[in-house]
Amino acid sequence: MIALLCFLLNLITPISQAQETKPLAPGYTALPFEPAKPGTYALPIITKAANGEVITTNNQPKHLHDLMGDKLVLLSFIYAACSDVNGCPLATQVLHKISRQLQKQPELADKLRLLTLSFNPTQDTPEMMRHYGEGFKTGDFDWQFLTTKDEASLQPILDGYQQNVQKVYDDKGQFTGTFSHLLRVYLIDKDKNVRNIYSVDFLHADTLINDVKTLLADAKPQVAPSTVPADVLFQPGDNKQNYQQVDYQTRSLALAQRQGQPAKLIDFALKPPLGLPKLPVSKDNPLTPAKIELGRKLFFDRRLSLNNTFSCAICHIPEQGFSNNEMTTAVGIEGRSVRRNSPSLYNVGYAQLLFHDGRENSLEQQAWGPLLAHNEMGNPSIGYVVDKLKASADYRGLFEKSFNKGPTMETIGQALASYQRTLNSADSPFDRWYFGKQKAAISEAARRGFALFTGKAACSTCHSIGEKTALFTDQKRHNTGVGYAESMQKSPEKQRVQVAPGVFVVVNSEHLKGVNTEKPGDLGYYEISQNPADRWAYKTPSLRNVALSAPYMHNGSLPTLAEVVKFYNQGGAANENLSPLLKPLGLSDRESDDLVAFLEALSGGNVGALVSDAFVAPVGDSGVTARPMSDPGKGR
Amino acid sequence: MTFKLSTFTTALLLGTASLSASADETCASPYMAKITGQEDFVYIWTLGAEGVGDEQDKLVTVDVNPKSKQYGKVIGSLSVGGRNEAHHSDFTDDRKFLWAGGLDTNKIFIFDVATDPAKPKLSKTITDFVAKSGGVVGPHSLYALPGRMIITGLSNNKDHGGRTAIVEYSNAGDYIATYWLPTDSNLEGAIKSGKYADGYNYDVRVLPRKNLMLTSSFTGWSNYMMDFGKMLADPEAMKRFGNTVVQWDLHSRQPKKVFDVPGAPLEIRCAWAEDHNYCFTSTALTSKIWLIHQDDKGEWQAKDVADIGEPAKIPLPVDISISSDDKTLWVNTFMDGMTRRFDISDPFHPKQVFEQKIGAQVNMVSSSWDGKRLYYTSSLLANWDKKGADNEQFFKAYSWDGSKLTEQFSIDFTKEKLGRAHQMRFGAYSLYGGSPK
- Residue B40 lies inside a defined structural domain of this protein: no
What is the CA B110 to chain-centroid distance, rounded? Answer: 17
Half-sphere exposure of A553 (CA within 13 A, CB side): 28
Chain A residue with the nearest C-alpha to that of B106: A309
Q: Show Cβ contacts of residue B16 under 8 Å, excluding neighbours closer than 6 positions.
A: A7, A9, A22, A25, A84, A86, A87, A200
- Residue B215 lies inside a defined structural domain of this protein: yes
Chain A residue with the nearest C-alpha to that of B390: A514
Helix or strand or coil: residue B228?
Answer: helix
Which residues numbered 298-327 in B keep a CB inside 8 Å of some CB on A? 311-314
**Does B273 contact A at CB distance below 8 Å?**
no
Distance, CA of B352 to CA of B346 (rounded, Å): 12
Q: Check residue A178 and give its pLDDT.
A: 84
Mean pLDDT of A575-597: 97
Nearest residue to B188 via CA among B203, B199, B177, B201: B199
Mean pLDDT of A508-534: 93
Mean pLDDT of A396-411: 98
Closest partner residue to A47 (CB to CB) among B82, B105, B170 is B170
The H or E element that residue B212 is part of is strand B212-215
Phi, psi of B271 (to 5 degrees): -70, 160
Q: Check residue A411 and give its pLDDT.
A: 98
Q: What is the largest CA-CA distance in chain B?
A: 60
B4–A503 CB contact, under 8 Å = no
ipTM given for this complex: 0.93
A36–B21 CB contact, under 8 Å = no
Closest partner residue to B131 (CB to CB) among A164, A202, A621 is A621
**Does A307 contact B at CB distance below 8 Å?**
yes
Chain B residue with the nearest C-alpha to that of A245: B239
Q: Check residue A177 and give its pLDDT.
A: 84
- Residue B7 lies inside a defined structural domain of this protein: no
Q: Which of A161-170, A297-306, A601-610 has the lowest mean pLDDT?
A: A161-170
Q: How far is CA B205 from CA A595, B27, B29, B239, B251, in A?
A: 51, 9, 7, 26, 13
Domains A265-426+609-615 and A459-511+520-602 share a fold: yes
Chain A residue with the nearest C-alpha to that of B170: A46
Sign of CA dihedral B411, B414, B419, B421: positive
Mean pLDDT of A112-123: 95
Q: Which residues are registered as beta bridge partners of B144?
A: B149
**Nearest CA of chain A to the CA of B208: how many Å?**
6
Using an 8 Å CB-CB cutoff, list chain A residues near B160. 314
Nearest residue to B409 via CA among B70, B76, B119: B70
Q: Show Cβ contacts of residue B191 under 8 Å, excluding neighbours closer than 6 positions.
A: B256, B257, B258
A515–B229 CB contact, under 8 Å = yes
- Residue B379 lies inside a defined structural domain of this protein: no
Nearest residue to B377 via CA among B321, B301, B437, B431: B321
**Nearest CA of chain A to the CA of B32: how many Å?**
9
What stretches of A514-606 show up as alpha helix (H) in DSSP? 526-529, 561-569, 589-600
What is the CA B312 to chain-centroid distance, rounded? Answer: 25
Per-residue pLDDT tens digits for A74-107: 999 999 888 778 788 888 889 999 988 888 888 8
For residue B226, the tally of other CB atoms under 10 A from its CB is 26
**Does A42 contact B at CB distance below 8 Å?**
yes
Work out whether strand B121-126 and strand B254-260 pair parallel, antiparallel, or are unpaired: unpaired
Which has the higher per-residue pLDDT, B310 or A199? B310
- Residue A156's Cβ-count burial label (10 Å; 0-12, 13-18, 19+) is middle
Q: Which of A225-229, A317-321, B57-61, B247-251 has the lowest mean pLDDT?
A: A225-229
Q: Show Cβ contacts of residue B298 under 8 Å, excluding neighbours closer than 6 positions.
A: none
Q: Check residue B18 and give its pLDDT.
A: 36
Return the CATH number of the domain spanning residue range A459-511+520-602: 1.10.760.10
What stretches of A65-204 show up as alpha helix (H) in DSSP? 88-103, 106-109, 126-134, 151-160
B326: pLDDT strictly greater than 50: yes
Q: Check residue A21 and give its pLDDT.
A: 52
The class level of CATH for A9-217 reads alpha beta
Average pLDDT of chain A? Answer: 91
Q: In what order do the strands lie in the sheet with B365-367?
A: B365-367, B373-377, B394-400, B405-412
Q: Check residue A309 and give its pLDDT.
A: 97
Closest partner residue to A182 (CB to CB) among B14, B134, B157 is B14
Q: Check residue B183 and give its pLDDT.
A: 97
**Does B115 contact A at CB distance below 8 Å?**
no
For residue A86, the tally of other CB atoms under 10 A from its CB is 25
Q: Check residue B11 and give its pLDDT.
A: 35
Q: Check residue A222 and give its pLDDT.
A: 61
Closest partner residue to A223 (CB to CB) among B189, B195, B199 is B189
Are the C-beta atoms of A551 and A590 separated by less than 8 Å? no
- Residue B24 lies inside a defined structural domain of this protein: no
Q: Check residue A86 and give its pLDDT.
A: 79
The tally of domains found in chain B comes to 1
**Does B345 contact A at CB distance below 8 Å?**
no
Q: Check residue A623 and give its pLDDT.
A: 86
Which residues numbered 251-270 in B keep a CB inside 8 Å of some CB on A? 251-254, 262-263
**Does A213 contact B at CB distance below 8 Å?**
no
Phi, psi of B124 (to 5 degrees): -160, 145
Quick one: pLDDT band at residue A7, thresholds 50, 70, 90?
very low
Closest partner residue to B13 (CB to CB) among A9, A32, A202 is A9
Distance, CA of A323 to CA of A346 (rounded, Å): 9
Q: Show Cβ contacts of residue A235 under 8 Å, excluding neighbours closer than 6 positions.
A: A319
Q: Check residue B26 and give its pLDDT.
A: 56
B1: pLDDT strictly greater than 70: no
Nearest residue to A325 via CA among A538, A519, A563, A560: A560
B386: pLDDT strictly greater than 60: yes
Per-residue pLDDT tens digits for B171-214: 999 999 999 999 999 999 999 999 999 999 999 999 998 999 99
The H or E element that residue B365 is part of is strand B365-367
Q: Check residue A91 and give its pLDDT.
A: 86
Sign of CA dihedral B158, B162, B165, B166: positive
Nearest residue to A108 via CA among A185, A209, A220: A209
What stretches of A139-288 show up as alpha helix (H) in DSSP? 151-160, 205-217, 230-233, 265-270
Are the C-beta atoms of A477 and A487 separated by less than 8 Å? no
**Does A230 contact B at CB distance below 8 Å?**
no
A327–B174 CB contact, under 8 Å = no
Question: What whole-number percentage of chain A has pLDDT above 90?
Answer: 78
Q: Check residue A410 and give its pLDDT.
A: 98
Distance, CA of B430 to CA of B37 (rounded, Å): 10
Long-range contacts of A64-71 (CB under 8 A, 24+ apart): A64/A115, A64/A117, A64/A157, A65/A192, A67/A113, A67/A115, A67/A144, A67/A146, A68/A113, A68/A188, A68/A190, A68/A192, A69/A190, A69/A191, A69/A192, A70/A190, A71/A110, A71/A111, A71/A112, A71/A113, A71/A142, A71/A190
Q: Check residue A176 and give its pLDDT.
A: 85
Mean pLDDT of A26-44: 91
A12–B130 CB contact, under 8 Å = no
Work out whether strand A477-478 and strand A538-539 pair parallel, antiparallel, or are unpaired: antiparallel
* Helix A409-420 × helix A382-391 angle, to 10°: 80
Quick one: pLDDT band at residue A387, thresholds 50, 70, 90?
very high
Q: Check residue A490 and give its pLDDT.
A: 86
Q: How far is CA A8 from CA A270, A525, B205, in A?
A: 79, 76, 28
Q: Check residue B36 and give its pLDDT.
A: 76
- Residue B275 lies inside a defined structural domain of this protein: yes
What type of residue sits at position B147?
Answer: G
Sign of CA dihedral B93, B95, B101, B107: negative
Q: Which of A489-503, A533-547, B212-226 has the lowest mean pLDDT?
A: A489-503
Nearest residue to B348 via CA among B284, B300, B304: B304
Q: What is the CATH number of the domain that holds B209?
A: 2.130.10.10
Distance, CA of A433 to CA of A427 (rounded, Å): 9
Q: Show Cβ contacts of residue B58 under 8 Å, excluding neighbours closer than 6 positions.
A: B46, B48, B77, B78, B79, B80, B418, B419
Helix or strand or coil: residue A247?
Answer: coil
Quick one: pLDDT band at residue A183, thresholds 50, 70, 90?
confident
Torsion of CA B172, B173, B174, B175, to 10 degrees: 140
Per-residue pLDDT tens digits for B115-150: 999 999 999 999 999 999 999 999 999 999 999 999
What type of residue sits at position A388?
Answer: K
Per-residue pLDDT tens digits for A195-218: 999 988 888 999 999 999 999 997
Are the C-beta atoms of B34 and B22 separated by less than 8 Å? no
What type of residue sits at position A605?
Answer: G
Q: What is the largest CA-CA distance in chain A?
A: 102
For residue A429, the tally of other CB atoms under 10 A from its CB is 21
For residue A230, the tally of other CB atoms under 10 A from its CB is 12
The H or E element that residue B76 is part of is strand B74-79
**Does A503 contact B at CB distance below 8 Å?**
yes
**Nearest CA of chain A to the CA of B163: how many Å?**
7
Distance, CA of A444 to CA of A464 (rounded, Å): 22
Work out whether strand A503-508 and strand A494-500 pair parallel, antiparallel, or are unpaired: antiparallel
What type of residue sits at position A74?
Answer: L
Beta strand residue intervals within B231-316, DSSP E: 244-249, 254-260, 265-270, 278-283, 288-294, 300-307
A627: pLDDT strictly greater than 70: no
Which has the higher per-residue pLDDT, A126 or A635? A126
Which residues constitute the domain of residue B246?
81-358+398-412
Per-residue pLDDT tens digits for B363-381: 999 999 899 999 999 999 9
Per-residue pLDDT tens digits for A439-461: 999 999 999 999 999 999 999 99
B37–A625 CB contact, under 8 Å = no
Average pLDDT of chain B? Answer: 92
Distance, CA of A543 to CA of A524 (rounded, Å): 20
A621–B225 CB contact, under 8 Å = no
Beta strand residue intervals within A428-522, DSSP E: 477-478, 494-500, 503-508
Every domain of chain A and the residues it spans: 9-217, 265-426+609-615, 459-511+520-602
- Residue B126 lies inside a defined structural domain of this protein: yes
Distance, CA of A50 to CA of B215 (rounded, Å): 33
B252–A314 CB contact, under 8 Å = no
Using an 8 Å CB-CB cutoff, list chain B residues near A12. 5, 8, 11
* Helix A88-103 × helix A205-217 angle, to 10°: 60
Q: Check residue B223 and give its pLDDT.
A: 98
Chain B residue with the nearest C-alpha to that of A17: B21
Q: Check residue B29 and give its pLDDT.
A: 59
Q: Show Cβ contacts of residue A247 under 8 Å, excluding neighbours closer than 6 positions.
A: A502, B195
Quick one: pLDDT band at residue B3, thresholds 50, 70, 90?
very low
What type of residue sits at position B300?
Answer: W
The class level of CATH for A265-426+609-615 reads mainly alpha
**Nearest CA of chain B to the CA of A310: how many Å?**
9
Chain A residue with the nearest C-alpha to that of B210: A33
Closest partner residue to B262 (CB to CB) among A40, A164, A503 is A503
Beta strand residue intervals within A132-268, DSSP E: 143-146, 165-169, 175-181, 185-188, 193-198
**Does A511 contact B at CB distance below 8 Å?**
yes
Which residues numbered 193-212 in B keep a CB inside 8 Å of some CB on A? 195-199, 208-211
Distance, CA of A28 to CA of A470 (rounded, Å): 77
Quick one: pLDDT band at residue B15, thresholds 50, 70, 90?
very low
Which has the higher per-residue pLDDT, A203 or A435? A435
What type of residue sits at position B310?
Answer: E
B163–A309 CB contact, under 8 Å = no
Quick one: pLDDT band at residue A22, thresholds 50, 70, 90?
low
Which residues numbered 159-178 in A keep a CB inside 8 Å of some CB on B? 162, 164, 166-171, 173
